Amino acid sequence: MVISSPAAAKALLRVQLRAARREAATRAPDAAEIAAAAFPAERLADVKIVAGYRAHGSEIDPWPLMRRFAEAGARLALPAAVAPDAPLIFRAYLPGDDLAPDVAGMAAPLEAAPALTPDLVIVPLLGFDARGGRMGQGGGHYDRTLAALRAQGPVFALGLAYQAQQIARIAAEPHDQRLDAILTETGYRLAQEDF
């Protein structure tokens, strides 16, 4: 098969990574709990506000990890899309709070929930590399969001995935935001600067 353009190559890679993620989710149904237990306990107390996401399809579930942060005293937040090409905002969330579709049609905290600025964002992804490269769904939501947060101050981007989603190298574009660390069912590791 001949891939005619970089965009076509990325689209094919996304198809392959979705398939790998589905297979990993079937093979390791307890991966979210295992990954959450692997997050370093000494890092939990450093985080005051953690933003997660609601797992969609075969995405690894961030709730076991978010529960650990909440037990350590962190406030929880979930993303909300407020305009198609704008950064996501994060609103306070407690388990059991009502959710409603946001501009992107995803379940998000209600507009009345306070907006929070997280110091750690758990980032969903399709693929990652050891350098902190990340491939998302292609909409650029998390790239815009991390860029906006980092313009305001430090924020730690933690990629949460199945180990099967790692590839040798993500072809980064200028707007792509790197992850600071990766957490999978095989453990926690900081992104390697000179990989």
Listed in sequence order, the DSSP H helices in 58-140 are 63-71
Q: 190 versus 195: which is more confidently predicted?
A: 190
Domain that residue 185 falls in: 6-190
Q: Please say whether the beta carbons of 87 and 144 come within 8 A.
A: yes
pLDDT score at 136: 84
Which CATH number fits the domain that encloses residue 24?
Answer: 3.40.50.10420
Pick from 193, 189, 191, 170: nearest CA to 179:
191
Number of domains in the chain: 1
Q: Does residue 137 sit within a domain?
A: yes
Quick one: tokens of 52? 């997660």
Q: Does residue 157 sit within a domain?
A: yes
The confidence band for 170, taking pLDDT boundaries of 50, 70 and 90, is confident
Q: Does residue 11 sit within a domain?
A: yes
Quick one: tokens of 78? 């979930």
Q: Does residue 195 sit within a domain?
A: no
Residue 87 DSSP class: P
Q: Does residue 149 sit within a domain?
A: yes
pTM: predicted TM-score of the whole model, two decimal places = 0.92
The confidence band for 195, taking pLDDT boundaries of 50, 70 and 90, is very low
CA 117 – CA 51 distance, rounded (Å): 8
Pick from 75, 92, 162, 103: nearest CA to 127:
162
